[in-house]
Amino acid sequence: MKVQFNDLFNQYLLNKKNYDDAIFSVIQEGAFIGGKFASKFEREYEKHYGIKNCIGVGNGTDAIYIVLKMLGIKEGDEVITTAHSWISTSEAISQVGATPVFVDVDQYFTIDVAQIESKITQKTKAIIPVHLYGQPADIEEIMRISKLYNLFVIEDCAQAHYSEINNKRVGTFGNAATFSFYPGKNLGAYGDAGAIITNDDELAKKCRMYANHGALKKHQHAIEGINSRLDGIQAAILSEKLNFIDQWTDERINIAKIYTDNLSDCEFVQTPLVRKNCKHVYHLYVILAKKRDQLKEFLENKGIECAIHYPKALPLLEAYNYVKSVNSEYRNASNNQEMILSLPIYPEMDKIMVKYVSDSIIEFYKLDESK
């Protein structure tokens, strides 16, 4: 059986007419960059999040960069973030001239809050927790620490659309939150797209201005900015997909539950642990697997696509040789990089496929034991 890691074409076919109509409308109205469809999506996203401002931008990386820049974070400053994420998180910190300070992860693959305070210095200006794989970081504790030390908090929600802690959406705790709508995300466009959300009107205004060449009105450039705008076609697709996001999230949670049930007796695999009172939205279903590389190869030979998010912890990447880092400081992140394996998960995934993947994992370890 062939099991793709994701199946965006099938998702498109299931609602083809609506997506085609959405694209047609944008072309018909010539609202390609910013404009009517971008504003419509921004207002809808604000409403869904119960937040005052949503600013559509070019992608999730720019979203982090723009917020950091508009918070005044600059050369000589330090920003604390997790050792385990996609490079965008730390890249944006370096882009504004600041230094990323990495903290190891907890058992939930998110920043270990117990280690944050030991990394705070006079230069620390902000914390960027990442709600990785769709699971909330311990954002309540992060907010407590940030208040104590007067630090900004920017929540990286690129993988955590509609994820919650104590019935409150992640992205609504910090000074601002950033989203990616990269096609494979839980809410994905048909190209690059991103957004910033915040209740801080002044910050929102600055971000909107900076993302649009420093102008809120055409040709009125108050500052020099960048070009990072949400385009109309992506916005129209996102508005259409917002109609399905709750249903899709439930389906992801359902699939995750089947995996977890099926693999619960397999002593060679650790299924994802879920933090108390959290809604994990399973952008990725990541197991810790013994003999991970052999298992991955076995599954691939059976037609099952898997992935590794991410093969190296951030501080151990060549790009961060300049940041002093000792492996033992990131014990969990560096141990995890040998064992993490992302299994296929997407709302349209057939339950027979989920069983096939789980059975194949169990089969691998049975064969391995009998060798």
Would you say 180 or 212 has its CB closer to ligand PLP? 180
Would you say 56 or 232 has its CB closer to ligand PLP? 56
In whole angstroms, the minimum distance from the beta carbon of 137 to ligand PLP comes to 11
In whole angstroms, the minimum distance from the beta carbon of 291 to ligand PLP comes to 27
Would you say 86 or 356 has its CB closer to ligand PLP? 86
In whole angstroms, the minimum distance from the beta carbon of 17 to ligand PLP comes to 27
Rounded Cα distance between 156 and 174, Å, is 10
Shortest-Cβ-distance residue relative to ligand PLP: 60
Sheet holding 168-169, edge to edge: 168-169, 164-165, 278-279
Which residues in this chain contact ligand PLP in the complex, by CB under 6 A? 59-61, 85-86, 88-89, 130, 156, 158-159, 180, 182, 192, 194
Rounded Cα distance between 334 and 314, Å, is 9
Instruction: Spell out the residues 6+ positions from residue 326 whose beta carbon is closer than 8 angstroms to its own.
Output: none
Angle between helices 232-242 and 35-49 (to 10 degrees): 30
Would you say 104 or 192 has its CB closer to ligand PLP? 192
| Total residues found in the chain within this entry | 371
In whole angstroms, the minimum distance from the beta carbon of 217 to ligand PLP comes to 27
Secondary-structure percent of the chain, ordered helix, strand, coil, rounded to 5: 45, 20, 40
Angle between helices 16-29 and 35-49 (to 10 degrees): 130
Whole-Å CA distances, 48 to 163, 205, 303, 353: 12, 20, 38, 32
In whole angstroms, the minimum distance from the beta carbon of 219 to ligand PLP comes to 28
In whole angstroms, the minimum distance from the beta carbon of 98 to ligand PLP comes to 16
Would you say 65 or 248 has its CB closer to ligand PLP? 65
Would you say 194 or 347 has its CB closer to ligand PLP? 194
Pick from 300, 302, 326, 303: which is nearest to 313 by CA?
A: 326
